[in-house]
Structures are given as C-alpha cells and as structure tokens.
Amino acid sequence: MLIKADTGRCVGAGQCVLSAPDIFDQDDQAVVTLLEREPGESLDLVLQAADRCPAGAISLEDGSAG
Amino acid sequence: MTTTEERGLMSSDLPFELRMCPHLRRARQGPAVRRVRTPTGDDAWLVSGHAEIRELLNDGRIGRSHPAPEERARYAGNPTYDQVMGADHGAADAMHAGLRAALKPHFTTRRMLELRPALAALVEARVDALLAQGPPADLREDFAGPLVRQVFAEMLGVPAADRDRCAELMRLGAAGDLGGLYVFLTELAAAPPESSMVARLGEAGLAADQVVQIAMLLQFAGFGATVKQIEYGFLLLAQDRSRRELLAADPELLPLAVEELLRLAGSLSLPRYAREDLTIGGVVIGAGDLVLLDLTQGNYDSDAFAEPTEFSPERSPNRHLTFGHGVWTCLGAPLARQVLRLVFAALLTRVPTLRPLTPVGNVSGPLSGGLPETLLVTW
C-alpha cells in the first residue's frame, strides 16, 4: 500500500503531521511532504491523518514502493 | 415564490444559555439549505448541513467578493463582519491565496510543536498567577485573555523583554485604542528579519504597512475565538466531575476531548456570495446571493454526528467545522489546538475544583457567540 499526498489540494493545515509525525512533514510553504511512502506499522495513524485532512489531500492506494 | 423565514438566526446568534445547555439545544432541524432573512433585513441562504457546508467551502463558485458590493445583501450590519474583498473575483481569490501563502510557513505543525515548551511555560505561569491571586476570579480577564495575548506575543516573535508591553498594547487595542499597538508592530516589522515572525513577513515581499495590518488581523481574528473556546470548554467540563477526573488522570484523552469541545463551541459563521447560479442540497442559489455557512449548526448535524447535542469527549472521527474546511481552513488551528490541550491539562490537574461562581446569564451581543460578559469562577 502506498500513501498518496496531493500537494495541489493541500491547504497546509498540518493535521497530518500532528497525526503521524514520522510519516508526514510540511515544506517551507507548509505543503505536505512524505517522509515514508508506505504506512507500515503506522497504518492507523495514516488513516487518521487522511480522515482529518480538511482538504482531502491524503489517500492510500494499492502498490508498493518496491 | 420562495418562503422566507422572518428572522433567520444563525447558531452564533443564539443566546448563550441555548448554546450551552444540552436540554434546551436542538440538533439541526429542517432542510440543510433554506431561505432566511438576516438581522439587517436582507435575504440570504442559510446552509446548516454538514455535507453541504463542506462541499461549498471547497467550491470556487462562492467567495468573499461581489460584483456590485454596494448592492449586496448583508448579514450582520457590522462593517468588519460584512466586509467583501472587492468586486473582482479573480483579484479577491489571488489576495486570499497570497495572504495564506505568506502566513502558512509560520503556522506549520512542526513550528507549533517547537513552540510547545514555550507555550506550556506561559500556561503554567498563568495558572500560577491565578492561584496566587486567589478566588474569586474572572476567567476571561484574569486567565484566558492575558494568556492568549502572551501566546500571540510569543507567536509573533516579540522579544521576551517586550512581551508584557506588547500584551498590554493588545489589550488596549481590543478596547479600541489601536495607536500604541500599531507603532509597536511597525517597529517590530522594521527590525532585522531574524528577530521575529513579523519581521520575516516583510522579507517575504509584503509591504511594511501590510505586515502590520496582517499582524493586527491575526491577533484580532485569533484572540476572541481562542478565549471563547477556553471559556466554553471550561463550562462544558464544569458540568461533569467524573469526566474531569478521567481527563486529569489520562492526558492522552485530551486531544480527542479538545476536538469535542471545539465541535460544541462552534464558530462564528461565514458569509459568502454566489458567483454564479449553483445547486446545493436540492436548492438553486442565484448568482450574487448571500450564502451564510453556519459552521456551528453543521457541527450539530445528526447526519454527520451521532447524538450531536451530547458532549462525548471520546468521539472519533470528529469532522467538526469549527476551523472551517478546504481553502477556508483556519491557519491558526494548529496553534489553537496546542494551546487548548495545554490549558485544559493544566486547569484539570492544578485547579481540579475550578467552577463557575455565578449562574451563567448576562448575555452579550450576537457576534460574540453569545458568551457572558464576565465568567466569575472559584475553586
């Protein structure tokens, strides 16, 4: 499973970093960046981040970072 | 002909007692989008459905501009609240996007987490002061107000030696005397960029007077809301001793509890204008019409929240609209969340018997969200 973060939709609210600081970060314009591509052990936190994102910018899709 | 309700109240207009007391409060009733008359006597669409509000906050067909500003319907009859960003939609959107772009880097969650120790120290110092002063106290004037002003001074990057002066100028500013605050912020903006957030905003390409205006706007936008959330949260928790003890014993429960406080407290609602005809909730809204997005009623929508009038500190997920949604998400939300968590952690553990001294009456004006003028407490 791969984490997808849509930087075009991101509004910089930072809810993802609060939910899963080991997975998400924000660049100097507060736009979401990914520290990890796969949720691994943090799946619950990633799902929480996706749920709390006010812009709906975070999702999970099938695939692997291979 | 569409039926228009005589006087469409938004939930931020409801008297304080109605908003606070779960027995009197009703969940959202009636259609999610309906025609109302505003306090100024103009026609508007009141949107109170959670799904419809979220959809519209992500819809570029509504905004804060109006093609003929002089002819637009008004909500509050209050120049600040009824402000439009001009007649040109593109220019209004560009101004909004530019402002957000300039401010966003200063409100990242990382920065707020870095600020946490400093914020915690401010909260502890305010609790120390409250305890030293002794009961009774006014929760707003003796705790929430001074604390939030100190938080703003910290966030704006005011040097430690000038913080008390800055906080006092903010207090005077809120009371209508803006001169001192203006001069203070102008000097702050002119200092070297590394000295403060305000100075760095200038470095990002904003004109000095713009920087000062933004700093003042941030402070006024965030101050009332944060003080209000502290007061609502305190009053909600005051009703339930077992919940207070539970939260005091396990700080891990606080983040969810704070979201629930935010949901019930709600927010001022957002006036917007339709830029073209659009259909929402089965209703056609005409171009130019005033659209009132009632964030608080959206938080009480039983289609979105089970038993919405109940205070359920463990509620999850909690997709409340108190900080808006989409491009209209509050930039200060990460800061507010940190402050509220710290405040309730400190009050619940250090002043466990804190309670309102007087029955809550004494309702203030509608745009304040109906909070009482003073909130006397004892412990």
For the domain with range A2-60, which CATH number is right: 3.40.50.970, 3.40.190.10, 3.20.20.70, 3.30.70.20? 3.30.70.20
Provide the pLDDT for residue A49: 93
Indicate left, alpha or beta for A41 from its phi (over 0: left) and psi (-120 to 50: alpha).
Answer: alpha
Provide the pLDDT for residue B1: 40
Contact with chain A for residue B331, Cβ under 8 A: yes
CB neighbour list of residue B1: distance below 8 Å, 6 or more residues apart = none
Look at A17 and B108 and tell me if their CB atoms are within 8 Å. yes
Look at B108 and A14 and tell me if their CB atoms are within 8 Å. yes
For residue B319, the chain A residues in CB contact (below 8 A) are 51-52
The continuous run of DSSP H or E covering A2 comes out as strand A2-5
Provide the pLDDT for residue B2: 46
Q: What is the 3-state secondary structure (H, E, C) of chain B?
A: CCCCCCCCCCHHHCCHHHHHCCCCCCCCCCCCEEEEECCCCCEEEEECCHHHHHHHHCCCCEECCCCCHHHCCCCCCCCCCCCCCCCCHHHHHHHHHHHHHHHHHHHCHHHHHHHHHHHHHHHHHHHHHHHHHCCCEEHHHHHHHHHHHHHHHHHHCCCHHHHHHHHHHHHHHHCCCCHHHHHHHHHHHHCCHHHCHHHHHHHCCCCHHHHHHHHHHHHHHHHHHHHHHHHHHHHHHHCCHHHHHHHHHCHHHHHHHHHHHHHHHCCCCEEEEECCCEEECCEEECCCCEEEECHHHHHCCCCCCCCCCCCCCCCCCCCCCCCCCHHHCCCCHHHHHHHHHHHHHHHHHHCCCCEECCCCCCECCHHHCCCECCCEEEC
Q: What is the DSSP letter of A55?
A: T
How far, CA to CA in Å, does A42 sit from each of A6, B259, B335?
Answer: 19, 22, 24
Which ipTM was obtained for this model? 0.78
Look at B108 and A12 and tell me if their CB atoms are within 8 Å. yes
Name the residue among B58, B104, B323 with its Cβ closest to that of A30. B104
Q: Token pair 């339930």 is at which residue?
A: B240
- Mean pLDDT across the stretch A23-52? 93
Look at A14 and B105 and tell me if their CB atoms are within 8 Å. no
Interface of A with B (CB under 8 A): 11-15, 17-18, 21, 25-26, 28-30, 48, 51-52, 54-56
**pLDDT string in tens for chain B (379-residue length):** 445 555 556 777 666 666 665 544 565 667 899 998 887 889 999 999 999 999 999 999 999 999 999 999 998 777 777 778 889 999 999 988 888 888 888 899 888 888 999 999 999 999 999 999 999 999 999 999 999 999 999 999 999 899 999 999 999 988 889 899 999 999 999 888 888 888 888 877 788 888 888 888 888 788 888 998 999 899 889 888 899 999 999 988 999 999 999 998 888 778 999 999 999 999 999 999 999 999 988 998 999 999 998 889 999 889 999 999 988 999 899 999 999 999 999 999 999 999 998 766 544 555 555 667 788 999 9
Residue of chain B nearest A11, judged by CA positions: B327
Contact yes or no for B167/B153 (Cβ under 8 A): yes
Which tokens sit at B157?
A: 């990057």
Look at A30 and B108 and tell me if their CB atoms are within 8 Å. yes
d(CA B86, CA A40): 49
Interface test with B, best of A9, A15, A19 (most B CBs within 10 A): A15
Confidence class of residue A65 from pLDDT cuts 50, 70 and 90?
low
